[in-house]
Amino acid sequence: MKTSYCFFVILCVPLPLCAQVKIDKGDGRISVAIDGKPYTVLYYGPETMKPYLHPLRSASGKVMTRKYPMETVPDETHDHPHHRGLWFTHGDVNGYDFWGNEPSEHNAKAGKVVLKQVGKLTGGKTSGTLEATFEWDDPQGKGLLTEARKITFYREPDRRVMDFDITLTPLEKVTFGDTKEGTFAIRIAPGLEEPTKNAPASPKRTGMMVDSEGRHAEGQIWGHRANWVDYAGEIEGEKLGIAILDHPENPRHPTYWHSRSYGLFAANIFGLHDFLNDKSANGSMTIEPGQPQRFRYRVIIHGGDSESGNIAGAYQTYTAGKKP
């Protein structure tokens, strides 16, 4: 009798309440909530040309990423419809474009990143993980490589931290071409963009890029190498920032940065002839079957700027192989 009573009590307690990081699979999407509040959604359905996370939210719930083209809202620019939330692709893989590949762009060379399998989805008190396998297909549907992706979401009271662990395994000889159009990228919210004369008046653009070398703004950071870059400003009256940290064991570390004042925020090791303004430079990389390449990044959404958010210290924690 006592045993059955305990079993009844266990059944009556909703298990998700025990997990502060909750991950749920839906139709073509996987939702992530932290402490009962929505954080982000991974979209991968058949209509999706590449998997992407949208939106990314701060611990206070502010949206840190541009809503277009997923939503149309006032005061957002409608450039680059392929800039969807947070994504990982490249603009030249065996000549095919996995970057600017939206159907509205009518790109005959557009490839597609297709879900093959959703793996483990694990919630927990301090972190949760999402695992999935994708295939990068050419326009005819032929697979060029497989991508194993693991994202770990950490629960912290005043920050949002994600670790990305991505392994690309070629199915044939694959060349990542030299182009600035790549690779690990976020399109940030308008309020975080750097002020420019052509920017819309509202919301006020308040952002500033800072990198690990102490450089500031697009003019000093675009096309240069750094361990990390932080993009910080103000959203709806709150000072917030978002940082991308390049893992020290990534290929060609430290990465070059394809980060723009208008809101593109990307790490790219391949675009040398653009970044160096040297047509003789060649940043391409060829990988053969049996030679997988692993890419890791940490993304931190924090209050304040890079200094008050201690991004330099956070990078040291990351390089030491520690959790945030």
Three-state helix/strand/coil letters over 27-72 = CCEEEEEECCEEEEEEECCCCCCCCEEECCECCCCCECECCCCCCC
Residue 10 domain-assigned?
no
Question: What secondary structure letter does DSSP report for 161?
Answer: E
Residue 11 domain-assigned?
no
Residue 132 domain-assigned?
yes
Res 18: pLDDT: 56
Residue 5 domain-assigned?
no
In the chain, the amino acid numbered 178 is D
pTM listed for this prediction: 0.94
In the chain, the amino acid numbered 306 is S
Q: Measure the CA–CA gap between 188 and 200, rounded to whole angstroms.
A: 15
Residue 62 has pLDDT above 80, yes or no: yes
Residue 233 domain-assigned?
yes
Mean pLDDT for the chain overall: 94
Mean pLDDT within 297-323? 98
Res 10: pLDDT: 36
Mean pLDDT within 170-177? 98
76-106 tens-digit pLDDT: 899 999 999 999 999 999 999 999 999 999 9
Residue percentage of the chain with pLDDT more than 90: 91
Residue 4 domain-assigned?
no
- CATH number of the structural domain spanning residue 257: 2.70.98
Number of domain units in the chain: 1
Residue 305 domain-assigned?
yes
Residue percentage of the chain with pLDDT more than 70: 94
Residue 46 domain boundaries: 19-319
Residue 9 domain-assigned?
no
111-155 tens-digit pLDDT: 999 999 999 999 999 999 999 999 999 999 999 999 999 999 999
Mean pLDDT within 48-62? 98
Res 19: pLDDT: 64
